Amino acid sequence: MVPSLLFEVMLIFFLGIGSQWVAWRYRMPAIVVMAVTGLLVGPIFGLINPEEDFGSLYSPIISVAVAIILFEGSLNLSFKELRGVGKPIFRISTLGAFIAWILGSLTAHYIAGLDWPVAFVIGGLFIVTGPTVIMPLLRQSKLKPRPAKILKWEGIIVDPIGALLAVFAFEIIAYLTANDPDGTALAMFFAASIFAGIFGWVCGRGIGFVFERGHIPEFLKSPAVFTVVILCFTVADEIMHETGLLSVTAMGITLANMGISSVADMRHFKENISILLISAIFIMLTASLQLETILEIFSPNIIGYVLLMMFLVRPLSIFLSTFGTGLTFNEKLLVGWIAPRGIVALTVSSYFATILLDAGYDAEILTTLTFGLVFFTVLAHGFSIGWLAKKLNLSMEGRPGTLIVGSNIFTVELAKSLTKENVPVIIVDSSWERLKVAREAGVPFYHEELLSEQTEYHLDTIPYEYLVAATASKSYNSLVCTTFMPEYGRTNVFKISPYDKVYRTGEIVSKVGGRILFKKEVTLEDLEEKVQKGFVFRRTTITEQYSYKQYLAEKDDETVFLYLVKPTGQIKFYSEEMRTVPSTGDVIVSLMPRNKEKAKIQARLGNGDLE
């Protein structure tokens, strides 16, 4: 056991974020790593048991964390995303959820051996997937936009629906089995659900109103939002258990569609908080399980139930509900397979296990059944989504691409050289006239202002992991880099040198957003001038016979190192902060004088080192 509760809190956060890092480093599903880590430190080695150690604080902590995670996910649900996918999302969230409820309940009764009342409660709960498990998978798999949007919307919308279905089923059962049936509780459930939705909308509109009127200063906006989220969740949940999830979802969707810039500015901060909470809560939940529960999931009835839920109930509900929606067979197959259960299923099932047992129903295996479904779906879907997406041609997987901002003779030649390395590339510019160079060269381009809200919904940025800002405006380059740094990462955002050799006007913008590309002494004007003079983009392979040291010794003084390509396909742009030393097998692409290059080719003719 750990020495103190404070140490346990530290360990939970450390293991959660550590699991996320291991998953990123070795390209593994994060939810799988977190689940295994929680099991190791909890029931297997007995280092921690958060449920016992936190005592009465355990359930409120989990509930508030789930509310914040669900709210953060719903903030991404802009109705503009529904173009082209609104019909299948509506069908899956309504008809598909109903079919999954009925089929899941039948499976729970006939295969898992649950009583009918318990089966219908758990059948309603198990339609959920949720942002805690879907979002990490989407970040990992790089799906094409349409299936990714469907899975994201379904995961967030169906989360509160599943919890409400379980409550609804329980209230119906309590009403039908009562000696003296009273419809008051049932009417209270419907009234509380309606109130939760309206209250969430009011909270969203209210916080949006005070933001727009400037009644809250910038430094208080994030704390204010989180406070209102907890208020929204708690008030609704106190009136009727589990309606709080519906309330915070309604609040998030309301804010997402009000078009408030300050909410968009906070989105990345809230995403960071959400990742931290998901990591910690997953560790807490899995570490709190009993070893007997883990062993019991391998019983034949539970394994049979899980297999039918994965291979029959889910695919059938998707195929039936999306008939005539325009989805392709491959998209239905992928969406019909991906349905991992997560935190909401674990937390809500433990609540219902208690109240069903108190009501006299046989619900002892409910926790085991839930964990079995969560564990197997997380493993199966976590490891298979990337592979299946590739097989179905629904993945954007490939060499990491580069998005270039600004069309000019240098960026077009840079884009052409990247294309030769099989790197996806696109040039974005708001000027049709400047894009003439890209059009004539046959380079992929997008005509729109990159910082426009419309671009966010029309330009698919999934294939691109690097951003290069290379317009004539130094301030604009810095603004673009600052805007997209949270999305692409600090190490993947670059800008052409902002320094001015004469007036040094770039001193301020040089310190704002983005790494300086190539060298700070090399400006866009210099690069364009070199291209006009006939400089060529030359690729050189570093081999054991021709080392990087030798390459440096022989290079021309006017040569500009642009980027290198690792054998794995990874791109590394040269920059002022670059610390990577090219090794054997790396390909260096540089901009060098044509005459010097001819001399080198003649000198090394037949060597094979220079390509």
Burial string for 366-396 (b: 16+ CB within 10 Å, else e) reads bbbbbbbbbbbbbbbbbebbbebbeebebbb
Length of the chain counted residue by residue:
611
In sequence order, which residues have a C-beta less than 8 Å from that of residue 320 and are 6 or more positions away?
95, 96, 99
Cα(167)–Cα(312) distance, integer angstroms: 25
Residue 533: phi and psi, rounded to 5, are -80, -5
Among the listed residues 40, 5, 1, the one whose alpha carbon sits nearest the alpha carbon of residue 19: 40
Among the listed residues 356, 373, 254, 375, the one whose alpha carbon sits nearest the alpha carbon of residue 314: 373
Q: How far is CA 384 from the centre of its chain?
A: 17
Q: Could you tell me which residues are beta bridge partners of residue 590? A: 538, 561
Cα(443)–Cα(428) distance, integer angstroms: 11
Ordered mean pLDDT values, 10 residues apiece, the chain (611 residues): 84 90 76 84 88 86 81 72 74 90 91 86 82 69 79 79 78 72 75 90 89 81 86 89 82 80 61 77 83 82 91 93 88 89 74 76 81 85 84 74 85 86 83 85 83 64 79 82 75 77 48 71 82 82 78 76 79 74 79 65 50 47
Tokens of 552: 């440096």
The whole-number pLDDT of residue 150 equals 84
C-beta atoms surrounding 491 within 10 Å: 14
The whole-number pLDDT of residue 506 equals 47
Check if the beta carbon of residue 466 is closer than 8 Å to that of residue 573: yes
How is the chain split among helix, strand and coil, in percent rounded to 5? 65, 10, 30
Cα(76)–Cα(267) distance, integer angstroms: 9
Domains of the chain, earliest start first: 5-391 (1.20.1530.20), 401-603 (3.40.50.720)
The whole-number pLDDT of residue 198 equals 93
Cα(26)–Cα(22) distance, integer angstroms: 6
Cα(364)–Cα(356) distance, integer angstroms: 9
Q: Could you tell me which residues are beta bridge partners of residue 469? A: 405, 495
CA atoms within 13 Å, Cβ hemisphere of 564: 20
Check if the beta carbon of residue 197 is closer than 8 Å to that of residue 276: no
State how far the alpha carbon of 596 is from the alpha carbons of 348, 558, 593, in Å: 71, 10, 5
C-beta atoms surrounding 323 within 10 Å: 11
Entry pTM = 0.66
Check if the beta carbon of residue 385 is closer than 8 Å to that of residue 140: yes
- DSSP, residue by residue, 119-171: HHHHHHHTT---HHHHHHHHHHH-B-HHHHHHHHHHHHHHHHHHHHHHHHHHH
CA atoms within 13 Å, Cβ hemisphere of 361: 23
**Secondary structure of residue 561 in the 3-state scheme:** strand
Q: How far apart are the first and last CA of the chain?
A: 61
Cα(610)–Cα(592) distance, integer angstroms: 13
The whole-number pLDDT of residue 318 equals 92
